[in-house]
Structure 1
C-alpha cells in the first residue's frame, strides 16, 4: 500500500523538485488570499510553465499550488471577513469574529495547523483507498465506464450552483463544446459551421483559462465603487494590525479537538472524492456537522476555535479526496484536478485505472508531492505570514492587467495559434455571463473533460455489442445508473425542502 509513497519519494526527493513545490505552495497561498482569485485560476496560469518539465515535476508543481491555494483563503477570511476562495466561506464565521476581538493571530495559527493535519489525514485515505478503487475499476468495460461518467455528470450538476436546472445547463454546455471538431473515432469534422477556427476543435485548456480566469477579470472590472470603498476601509484596518503567531500553543488547542479535526477531515475527503463537489461544499458541511455535534453549539459564529478547526480541516482535506477519482479512475474531481489530468495527457500519459499499474512512479510522485506540499505549506504560512498579510493591500487595478497578460501568453503557447486567442475571449465572455447569472462554472468545465470519455465509451459499447439492454443488465453499470437517478432525485427533494423552509421563515 505504501510502496507507491516510497516510489514517489525517489521521484520527488530531489532538491530542484522540492524547491519547485515550495514555489508552487507560495504562489498558491498568494492566489488563495486574494479575494476572487481562485485556486483554479492560479493552477490554470501555472500549467503553461510546466510544459518544459517532466510529468512528475510538472504535476508536483501544480499540486503545490493546489495545497497552498486551499490554505491561503484562511488569511483574507480571517483578516477581512472575505473568503479568499469559495472553500473558505465557513472560515469567516468564526475566524473573523476572533480577529475583531483582537485574536487574529490565534485564529490564523489554529487554521494553519488544522489545514496541515487534515491534509495528512486525507493523504492517508488517498494512499489507502485510491489503489483499491483502481484495481476494482480494471473490471470495467465501456458500459460501466459510461455509466460511471453519467453518475459523475449528474453529481456535478446537482451539487454545484444554486439551481439544479442551471447546473444541468452548464454541464450540457460543456458537453456541447466537447463535440466541436473532429469525431474521436471516425475523424470527421462536425459542428464547425465551415469555420476554420473550429476545425481543430475547442481546446479544453483554452476553455478553462477563458471561463475561469478571463471571466473573473471581467467581474473584477465590474466592481462598484461602493465595494471598493468597503475593501479600502478593511485594508486600512490591517495596516495597524500586528500578527504574532504562537505555533506550539495553538497546536495544543487543535489537538484538544481530535473528534472535530478527524471528523471534518474525513468529511472533506469524502466530499472531495465526489466529482464536482469541492472544498466550498466540504467547508460548509464540516462546519455544520461540528456545530451539530458540539456540546455548546451556540458559541459557533461568535469566534469559536472549534469552528475554525472544522472549517479549515474540511476545506484542506478535500485535496486528498479530490485526487482519489483523479488517480484511480481518470475522472477529475474538480476543475483543478481536470488541469492535472490535462497536464499528464500533454506529456503523453493516459489517466485512468491502468495508471496505478503502468506508471506507479507517476502516481507515487503525486502522493509524495502532496505530502511535501503539506509540510511546505505549514512552514511557509508560519514563516511568511507577515508578508502575506501585506499582499491583501495590492490594488485590483494592478492585478488585472498582469493576470490578463499571463492568460493570453499561456493560451498562445499551448498551440501557437492566434485563433485560440479569439476562442479565449469568447469563452471569457461566456464565463462572465455564467457568473453574472449564477450558473456554476465547474459543471461546464468537467463536462468538457468527461464529454469525450462518455462518447467514446458509449460508441465502444455499441461497437462491441449493439444490445443497449447491457447497460441495465450488467450489475456495476446498472448500479451506477441507479445512483445517478437517486442523486438527482435527492437533490430535487433537498432543494424543495430548503425552498419550503425559506418560505416558512419569510
Structure 2
C-alpha cells in the first residue's frame, strides 16, 4: 500500500465519529495534564489503561496518543506563567518563558509556543510517515538474535543516557526485568516467584505497576506542594500577537528544533526531554548574542517547543516499526497494544494498515484541535493553575483504585499498586528513576522469549550473537554505551571528590 492510499484509509478511519470523539478527549485531557505540574502523562495514561479494555483498539490508541502529545502543548503554559514545568520536557522553557511573563509578554510567549508546537508536530508526523515503513522493511530481515540485542541496546541506552546516574538506571532496568519474570512461565508452565500468592501466578499487572510508580508515588511526593501566587495578567488576542521581529527571530529556530526533535525522538532512550534541551543548546550556540538567553529570548522557547513536539511524534517510529519503546510512555503504548492482542513490529503496517494510518491521520487532526483549543482557553488554564493540589490528589487516588480493580476485578491488585507506590516513592527519594524500570518490565518477557528462541535455533551456542553482523553491531554499540556510562560516572565522582577536598582545604585555611 502506497502513502497516498494509506492516507486515504487513515482519513476514513480517523474521521469516524467515535475516533474523533476520543481524539478530542485525549488532546483536551493531555493539555490539562500538561498544565498541571506534577501529574504527568505516565500517571494519566496509566489511569486510562483500564478504560481501553472497554473500547475498540483504534479509538483507545488515538486517545492515549492524544494525551501524550497534548501534554507537550500544555506543559509550556505552566512553565511560562508560573516557572513550574508541567512536563519534564517543558523545564527548559522556564529559562526564557518566565522572564517574558515578568516583562509583560506572556501572551506572546504562549502564542509562539503554540505555533512552534504545531509546526514541530506536523513535520514530525511527516517524518513518521516517511521513515516508519522504511524501518519496518529493513527490520523484516531481523531474526530473534537481532531482536534480543536490539532490545538490550534500547534498555542500556535508556538507563545510561536518559537516567541521571547510569548505575542507578541499570539497577532499575534489572529490577524491571525481575518483576517481569513473576508469573507462569510460558514455555514450561511453571509458576515463578509467586511467593505462595495464587494471585501472582498471572504475573504483576502492567496497570498496577504503572499506576503505583507514576501515580501513587507522585501523589505522595507532591501532596505538600503549594500553588504559586495568582496570575494577574489579562490575556487578549491583541496581547498575544507577536511582532514581526518575534516571527523573524523564531522562524529558523522552529525548523532547527524540529530537526533535532525528529532525530532524537526516534532514538531509544532519549525522548522529548533530551530533544528539548539539545534544541535549546543548539540555539544558544548558533545565536549571535548568547547573552540574551535566560532573559526572555524568543528563540529559547520556540526551538525547544518545536523539538519536544516533533520528538513526541517520531517516538512512535521505533515503537510501531520495531516493537521497541523508546521511552516509558511508549512502553505504556506498547502495553496497550499488547493488551488488545496487537503485536507491533515490522509486520504491523501490513497487518494493521487501518490502525497505523488511522493513528497517523488522527495525530494531524489532534494537533489542529490543540491549536484551536489552546489559544481561546488560556484563561481557563490560568484558573485551573490556581486549584490547590490538596483537592486534586484525593480524586486521583480514588480513580487509581477504581482503575486497577476494574482490570481484573481482583482486590489483590489494589494491594500491589499500594506496594508499588511506596516502593516508587522510596526509590525516587534515593535518586532512582522509575522510567527504566517500566521499560525493563515491558521488554523483559519479549527479551526472554527471543533469547530462548535464539539459543534453541543455535542449539545453545551463544556465539550466534557475535556471528550475525547486525546482532554483533548492536552488541558493540551496547558495550560502548556501557563503557561511556562507567567513564562518565568515574569522572563525575572524581570531580565531586576534588570539589569536596577543595572545600575542606579552604575551611582548614580559614
Partner of 2:71: 69
The match for 2:357 among 349, 364, 388 is 364
Partner of 1:212: 214
1:154 and 1:169 map into 2 onto residues whose CA distance is 11
Whether the 8 Å CA contact 2:108–2:241 is kept in 1: the answer is no
Whether the 8 Å CA contact 2:250–2:298 is kept in 1: the answer is no
TM-score (norm 1): 0.94
The match for 2:478 among 460, 481, 484 is 484
TM-score (norm 2): 0.93
The match for 2:426 among 433, 451, 455 is 433
Partner of 2:309: 316
Partner of 2:339: 346
Partner of 2:391: 398
Partner of 1:289: 282
The match for 2:455 among 450, 462, 473 is 462
Matches within 5 A, 1:1-400: 2-3=3-4, 4-221=6-223, 223=224, 228=226, 231=227, 234-236=228-230, 238=231, 240-246=232-238, 249=242, 253-254=246-247, 256-400=249-393
1:220 and 1:179 map into 2 onto residues whose CA distance is 31
2:385 and 2:490 map into 1 onto residues whose CA distance is 39
1:147 and 1:250 map into 2 onto residues whose CA distance is 51
Please report the RMSD computed on the Cα atoms of aligned residues, expressed in angstroms: 1.9
Whether the 8 Å CA contact 2:316–2:330 is kept in 1: the answer is yes
1:497 and 1:271 map into 2 onto residues whose CA distance is 25
**SS state at 2:229 partner:** helix
Whether the 8 Å CA contact 1:144–1:477 is kept in 2: the answer is yes
| Runs (5+) with no aligned partner, structure 2 | 504-510
1:325 and 1:250 map into 2 onto residues whose CA distance is 39
1:267 and 1:6 map into 2 onto residues whose CA distance is 29
Distance 1:35 1:339, change over 3 A: same
Of 189-198 and 123-132, the range deviating more from structure 2: 189-198
Give the deviation of 1:200 after TM superposition: 1.4
Distance 1:495 1:313, change over 3 A: farther
1:290 and 1:203 map into 2 onto residues whose CA distance is 43
Give the deviation of 1:265 after TM superposition: 1.3
| Runs (5+) with no aligned partner, structure 1 | none
Of 468-477 and 344-353, the range deviating more from structure 2: 344-353
Q: Deviations over 1:89-128 (max 9, x none)?
A: 1000000000011111111111111111100111111111
Q: Report the count of equivalent residues.
A: 496
